[in-house]
Amino acid sequence: MIDSILDQMTLEEQVSLLSGADFWTTVPVERLGVPKIKVTDGPNGARGAGSLVAGVKATCFPVGIALGATWNPELVSQMGKALARQAKSKGAAVLLAPTVNIHRSGLNGRNFECYSEDPMLTAELAVAYIGGVQGEGIAATIKHFAGNESEIERQTMSSDIDERSLREIYLPPFEQAVRRAGVMAVMSSYNRLNGTYTSEHHWLLTKVLREEWGFQGIVMSDWFGSHSTEETINAGLDLEMPGPARDRGEKLVAAVHEGKVEAATVRAAARRMLLLLERVGAFESKPDLTERAVDLPEDRALIRRLGAEGAVLLRNDGILPLAKTSLDRIAVIGPNAASARLMGGGSAQIAAHYTVSPLEGIRAALANANSISHAAGCRHNRLIDVFKGKITVEYFKGRGCKGNPLHVETVDKGEFFWFELPSGELDPADFSARMTMQFVPEESGDHVFGMTNAGLARLFVDSALTVDGHEGWTRGENYFGTANDEQRGTVALEAGRAYAVTVEYEPSTASGEGINLIAVRFGVEKPLGEADIEAAVETARNADLALLFVGRDGEWDTEGLDLPDMRLPGRQEELIERVAAANANTVVVLQTGGPVEMPWLGKVRAVLQIWYPGQELGNAVADVLFGDVEPGGRLPQTFPKALTDNSAITGDPAVYPGKDGHVRYAEGVFVGYRHHDTHAVEPLFPFGFGLGYTRFSWAEPRLSTGEMGSEGITVSVDLTNIGDRAGSELVQLYVRSPETKVERPDKELRAFAKLSLQPGETGTAVLKILPRDLAYFDVETGAFRAEPGNYQLVVAANAADIRFVIDLSSPLTHVLPPSH
């Protein structure tokens, strides 16, 4: 059927398939019955075509690093199935996920969106995720291919990575997604790879992806991430997104006529687009693009389970789990206590069906909820708290908010990110909007108004210009680098008095390179100070237990910018120190998208890392704290003692964050635990670390054979739960190699198994490795090479907790080409 359609297509019609129609849909060819399909973000929820911050509600699942912490491919596959159902509820046939870039440093703004610092763990979870999604008839899109391990100058930066490091660290998750999961789509990254944009990288997209790995699906650009016509199509980029066409369309037709692009190249790309439509069933029944909010009880239960399964207990002197009946007075403190920090920022954001804050979850878990006291103590927000309340929005043709509004609507949040305007008569390049609202402060005193805008905006309080986002506007770090840095103004306000707040917005008249968006965000808050920290300390002093919820949020852990350091922002470290000094029973619950330094670690009784676990946040954390379930998570990323212990943080800006448009991956394959183990850099918490509420005994491992052959080796380890609670244990299998002509890490993860056992129950972890698991990538021969010699199999609970070391002989040289 596909070839028949192609034979009937004109060149122009074939070309039309190779660009989006708009932000989220492909171009149909109605005369030949070729429908359009919709794509949707993202990794932790199917948003649909709505705004990043509004639109139809969607189910919010845990973020990538929280899934990485589960070490549970089966559970991740279940989430993939649920996400496919959510994608269908938004009328989408393609899910733009998963994100599998490697945790090179602790500072990447999208660290939260990715699974791990280890390619093997990342690959296993990605394969499971993709299998779950595609098993339900929705195409998955693995991203970002490749070398997007930082958000700094990401649209132009060249990630300079040697081929061995690419083959061993950064490409395996993509390779396994193609070979084992049959992923239907790959998204190229924004950055350049060794000087060439990945969207134009023939070696990456054609030689490696298609010829070596046998990829049969489509390659699409990241949004606004393609920059040319013949270079992209000749390199192997099929779909330019978003639409309408910028570098395709008439330009591509002309390139064919001029001989710069072969007609057969266009036909092959169009064929792959049609094959995608066929694989997602678009020809069988016309896609219904209607968007619906579907909130299923089974999804709620799965999210709650995933939240606990990914929660990592980092420290516990015996205080956890908490006994519900013996706690009379609990202080719930911190900037993340009463606020539900569900997800990171950027394109992964969705409008969740509901939120459950830790404070709400704890109150729901305890019958004697009146014994719970709360104090924020301090703030950690990067941006002023967004305005919440009734906002009337008037849309006008042209600039300056003149004449009668063309459309009027009411919203409840002061953040607007327009993919589509509410009326087709409005021109995204030539409209204006006026937002009016009332603000009634609860307390008297100075209040700070803040605004950031991609476009031009002014904020007035009682007609007085308070924040100017118009004069002197320049690009900053917000909204993927398309908006200015937040501008602020301070006004003294009286409690109980209503103030008229007005924001006037219009798009910028300047055209910039790369992404151009229309967005505005504004808010107001009364700053917290010393009195608020003192109030939190006093609250803790008068309680039997202090639960301290600290960390970051989606303003810090976000697409578009990297973190400034690895410390808790604001006065949170001081808050922890002072609360712990006031109450000896202090438990810290962390929400971050990666590692943080912990100078206060020895002063608290327990530390629980819960990441951003989705809409059941408060319930999941209460489940773990009170022992209804155990903390099942293990770290998917090493937590260094200090930022400078990370292999990417050398003090040389050319290595990180980049210099003169290049960032050099000078550490090579020594990423994460590979660096710490090989160079004896002691971490704060090692890769794979996590405590539980029970104990396990490990029996001696059994090998299927002591000599590596072509069929591989199986290692079996019996575990017994010798505690009095159900729990899980992680078994990791590393390979330690003999000396070779290249330097290799001390050990490398090659297999893992996670067992959940009842008290007294025994189970068997079965781990298999193949000849390639002994290999390194030999650049000279262009193949994976395992030298003959004596290897060691390291059986461990985590990278620093080695239980057994087994000698293994490999008498033959194994040479495995990438196409193997």
Instruction: Delimit the domains of the chain by residue range.
Output: 1-27+141-165+173-278, 303-382+529-626, 388-525, 694-816
Which pLDDT value is given to residue 546?
97
% residues pLDDT > 70 (the chain):
99
> What span, in angstroms and rounded, lies between the C-alpha atoms of 562 and 656?
11
Provide long-range contacts, Cβ within 8 A and 24+ apart, for 508-514: 508/454, 508/455, 508/456, 508/473, 512/475, 512/482, 513/155, 514/155, 514/156, 514/224, 514/481
State the DSSP code for 19: B
Which of the four pLDDT bands, split at 50, 70 and 90, describes residue 424? confident
Q: Amino acid identity of 153?
A: E
> What span, in angstroms and rounded, lies between the C-alpha atoms of 330 and 377?
15
Task: Taking residues 648-658, report their average pLDDT.
Answer: 97
Which pLDDT value is given to residue 820?
66
Residue 574, burial from CB neighbour count under 10 angstroms (0-12, 13-18, 19+)? middle
pLDDT at 513 over 60: no
pLDDT at 368 over 80: no
pLDDT at 531 over 80: yes
Task: Taking residues 278-282, report their average pLDDT.
Answer: 97
Q: What is the DSSP string of 56-90?
A: S-B--PPPHHHHHHHT-HHHHHHHHHHHHHHHHHT
pTM for the whole thing? 0.95
Which pLDDT value is given to residue 704?
95
> What average pLDDT does the structure give for the chain?
95
Paired tokens of 692: 């539980």
Nearest to 706 by CA among 776, 790, 591: 790
**What phi-psi label fits residue 389: left (phi over 0), alpha (psi between -120 and 50 degrees) or beta?**
left
Which of the four pLDDT bands, split at 50, 70 and 90, describes residue 477? confident
| Exposed e or buried b per residue across 611-644, where buried means at least 16 C-beta atoms within 10 angstroms of its C-beta | bbbbbbbbbbbbbbbbeebbbbbbbbbbbbbebe
Which pLDDT value is given to residue 818?
85
State the DSSP code for 453: E
pLDDT at 289 over 70: yes
pLDDT digits (tens, 9 = 90+) for 315-347: 999 999 999 877 889 999 999 999 999 999 998
Task: Taking residues 360-380, report their average pLDDT.
Answer: 90
Which pLDDT value is given to residue 369?
67
As annotated, the active-site residues are 222
Q: What is the DSSP string of 206-258?
A: IIIIIIIT---SEEEPPTT----SHHHHHHT--BBSSSS-SSSTHHHHHHHHT
pLDDT at 180 over 80: yes
pLDDT at 512 over 80: no
Nearest to 473 by CA among 448, 508, 500, 499: 508
Contact 441, 497 (CB under 8 A): yes
Between helix 119-134 and helix 73-89 the angle, nearest 10°, is 40
Within 10 angstroms of residue 569's Cβ, the number of other Cβ atoms is 23
Q: Please state which of the four CATH numbers 1.50.10.10, 3.40.50.300, 3.30.420.270, 2.60.120.260 is assigned to the domain occupying 388-525.
A: 2.60.120.260
pLDDT at 399 over 60: yes
Task: Taking residues 377-382, report their average pLDDT.
Answer: 94
> What span, in angstroms and rounded, lies between the C-alpha atoms of 242 and 49?
12
pLDDT at 87 over 90: yes
Preceding omega of 244 cis (within 30 degrees of 0): yes
pLDDT digits (tens, 9 = 90+) for 245-266: 999 999 999 999 999 999 999 9
Contact 287, 91 (CB under 8 A): yes
> What span, in angstroms and rounded, lies between the C-alpha atoms of 587 and 315?
9
What sign does the CA torsion over 178, 183, 185, 190 have?
Answer: negative
Same CATH fold assignment for domains 1-27+141-165+173-278 and 303-382+529-626: no
Q: Which strands make up the sheet holding 407-413, listed edge to edge?
A: 407-413, 388-397, 431-439, 499-506, 456-461, 464-469
Which pLDDT value is given to residue 328?
83
Which pLDDT value is given to residue 583?
98
Q: Please state which of the four CATH numbers 3.10.20.30, 3.20.20.300, 3.40.50.2300, 3.40.50.720 is assigned to the domain occupying 1-27+141-165+173-278.
A: 3.20.20.300
Q: Please state which of the four CATH numbers 3.40.190.10, 3.40.50.1700, 2.160.10.10, 3.90.1150.10 is assigned to the domain occupying 303-382+529-626.
A: 3.40.50.1700
Which pLDDT value is given to residue 740?
83
User: What is the Cα 505 distance to its own chain's centre?
Assistant: 30
pLDDT at 107 over 80: yes
Which of the four pLDDT bands, split at 50, 70 and 90, describes residue 160? very high
pLDDT digits (tens, 9 = 90+) for 788-819: 999 999 999 999 999 999 999 999 889 998 87
Which pLDDT value is given to residue 722?
98
Which of the four pLDDT bands, split at 50, 70 and 90, describes residue 310? very high
Task: Taking residues 502-513, report their average pLDDT.
Answer: 82
- Give the H or E element holding residue 727: strand 727-736
Which pLDDT value is given to residue 511?
59
Least confident of 15-29, 41-55, 358-372, 479-493: 41-55
> What span, in angstroms and rounded, lies between the C-alpha atoms of 80 and 83?
5
| Exposed e or buried b per residue across 167-179, where buried means at least 16 C-beta atoms within 10 angstroms of its C-beta | bbbbbbbbbbbbe
694-816 CATH: 2.60.40.10
> What span, in angstroms and rounded, lies between the C-alpha atoms of 50 and 53?
8
pLDDT at 417 over 80: yes
